[in-house]
Amino acid sequence: MPTGLESNFSGLDWAIVVGYLLGTLVVGLYVNRFIQDMSDYVVAGRSLGTWLAVATMIGSELGLVTVMFAAQKGFTGGFSAFHIAVAAGLVPLLVGFTGFIVLPLRRLGVMTIPEYYGIRYGKGVRVYGGILLALAGILNMGMFLKAGAVFVTALTGLNDPVYIKVVMSVLIVLVLAYTTLGGMVSVVITDYIQFVVLSFGLLLTCVLAVGHLGWDSIVVAVRDVHGAAGFDPTHEEGFGFAYMAWMLLTAGLISSTIWQTAVMRASSVRNEEMVRSLYKWSSVGFLIRFMLPQFLGICALAYFWTHPIAHSSFFTADGQIASDAEVTMSAFPHFLGQILPAGIIGLVGAGMLAAFMSTHDSYLLCWASVIVEDVVAPIRNGHISTRSRLLLARILIILIGMFLLVWGLWYPLGQDLLDYMMVSGAIYSTGALALLVLGIYWKKGSRVGAYLALTAGGLAVFGLAPVQKLVGIELPAAHVGLGAVAAALLLMFSGSLLFPDKPKGIPS
Amino acid sequence: MNSWLLLWTCLLVLGATVFALLAVMVARGAAKDIKSMFQDLGEKSGNDRKSPNDRQ
């Protein structure tokens, strides 16, 4: 971690953060009295209006972790990282106009993707898909606590490494307490508060950053560090076409249509027209949730490139960016700690922490409900009471939280956080893409094809840096991910043709 | 390189401006939706308490 950096974070800022977090806990306790059943707990009783759905969709996805991994990409990739923002904004807009995947799912009234598997392919695929989804989803969350702790310690100037472990432990206790209290009803309230604070906070921070650094010095720093690859995403020394295609698929299509939290949002609104509106309006938010943090990451690059003391912490002697992913991840919060004045830094920090809680509780709730509804309930043929479902979901949330703490403490990241997130998510989403697209839009999709495609999605695990180190290979994560998608589609297609489902008998 | 920079600059300025306007609209509209949601859930909660035999 950088030495010699004093943060502007003051006692006033700590008071703002603590007050803000206590306030959200009180909200959680208050809304708990509205929870009647699993539908209230998971999709807020399908009672969200369009604006609230947009706020909660952006609020949930514009979390601290998103801001951290997007800022890191801006730091390590320069302006050309904006192609990820374009993919993330353009695809939901197209989905809003076409209703691709999400409208057929909404018509079926499903709350989770495996529930669709059950309807289309049968109970076995639902359970298998549910297990894979929960495993990939929990793995995908594995670095959330680490990212949150890096943010808090860098922002506040707690530079001793031991504080990262302490902050991770405190954060998980706060998140678990909040999530188990209220479910989706409280999630939408915190999403709303966090949407307001973080949206305006990020915009203000961008203005302050440009004012502090000057536009020209930002451009010059990117040119010095990255060269032409810092502006041109197709440049062979930068991202390249394979990475762009991978982002179009993951940050664009999968994040907005196949990732479980997005599907839950589509299930939460009142009707199909609202689903379309939700996606059209949210597309701006999806674009911005990448672009503004990426820009702040670029500003951090420009700031530390010319910093007399901290330069050596983020760059090598020959002007290359440091290879340690945790160091590049910390550049953005360190930068905030340097340029934001006392008071404002507390508000932005509180907003980011609320964003962290909001995202965390959305995901915890999501994966726990998948295990309950798509694994446990089908295995028991639905013979499980509402009370037992809620209790089991809350127990699972606590167990997942404990796993996340252990994983966050021990897993060696070894790659940009965004790439870890996309690859770990792909373990589920590559198979899911094949099952959904060929299940909804092709009549011949069969059960055997579904099992094969889901299994092929597991190939994405070879995109994780520690796994590559373990098996002695070195491949770009984008190539592995695209290969897994191709394998899943191919196996789904060929498996369905070779092993079609038996025609259903005519009921007597 | 300059054309890429021009593209990203325009996109950043346009995106941030549209998002700022959207944030104001969403913040106002969602506040009304929250009020409506609590009314709906409150009514549902009241109805459930009135007719416990309806619940399985």
pLDDT tens-digit profile of B3-17? Answer: 999 999 999 999 999
CB distance A481 to A251 below 8 Å:
no
Cα–chain-centroid distance for residue A41?
21
pLDDT given for residue A506 in this prediction:
47
pLDDT given for residue A94 in this prediction:
95
pLDDT-derived band of residue B47, with 50, 70 and 90 as boundaries?
low
Residue A321 phi/psi, 5-degree rounding, is -70, 140
The pTM assigned to this predicted structure is 0.87
pLDDT given for residue A267 in this prediction:
75
CA distances from A208 to A6, A11, A204, A376, B10 (A): 19, 22, 6, 50, 19
Provide the chain A residues 347-376 that lie in CB contact (below 8 A) with chain B: none
Query: Encoding tokens for residue A253?
Result: 């299509």
Query: Encoding tokens for residue A464?
Result: 């994780």
CB distance A218 to A210 below 8 Å:
yes
pLDDT given for residue B46 in this prediction:
66
- Chain A nearest-CA residue for B17: A203
pLDDT given for residue A285 in this prediction:
82
Closest CA to A78 of A193, A239, A316, A204: A239
Query: Encoding tokens for residue A371?
Result: 């295990």
Q: Does the beta-carbon distance from B33 to A196 stay under 8 Å? A: no
Angle CA(A36)–CA(A359)–CA(B23) in degrees, nearest 5? 100
DSSP code of residue A323: S
How far is residue A125's CA from residue A17's CA, in Å, rounded to a whole number?
45
Give the residue ranges of chain A where pLDDT is below 50. Answer: 38, 41-45, 506-508
**DSSP per residue over A9-59, as a string?**
--HHHHHHHHHHHHHHHHHHHHHGGG--SHHHHHHGGG-B-HHHHHHHHHH
pLDDT given for residue A48 in this prediction:
64
Chain A residue numbers touching B23 (CB-CB < 8 A): 195-196, 199-200, 203
Q: How much is the CA Rg of chain B, to the nearest whole Å?
A: 23
pLDDT-derived band of residue B55, with 50, 70 and 90 as boundaries?
very low
- Chain B nearest-CA residue for A48: B37
Chain A residue numbers touching B39 (CB-CB < 8 A): none
> Residues 6 or more apart from A387 whose CB is under 8 A from it?
none
CB distance A213 to A61 below 8 Å:
no
Q: Does the beta-carbon distance from B45 to A52 stay under 8 Å? A: no
- Chain A nearest-CA residue for B19: A284
CA distance A443 to chain B (A): 37
pLDDT given for residue A41 in this prediction:
45
Please report the ipTM that was assigned to this predicted complex.
0.84
How far is residue B23's CA from residue B10's CA, in Å, rounded to a whole number?
20
Q: How many Cβ atoms are within 10 Å of A311's Cβ, its own excluded? A: 14
How far is residue A172's CA from residue A400's CA, in Å, rounded to a whole number?
10
Residue A419 phi/psi, 5-degree rounding, is -70, -40
Q: How many Cβ atoms are within 10 Å of A91's Cβ, its own excluded? A: 23
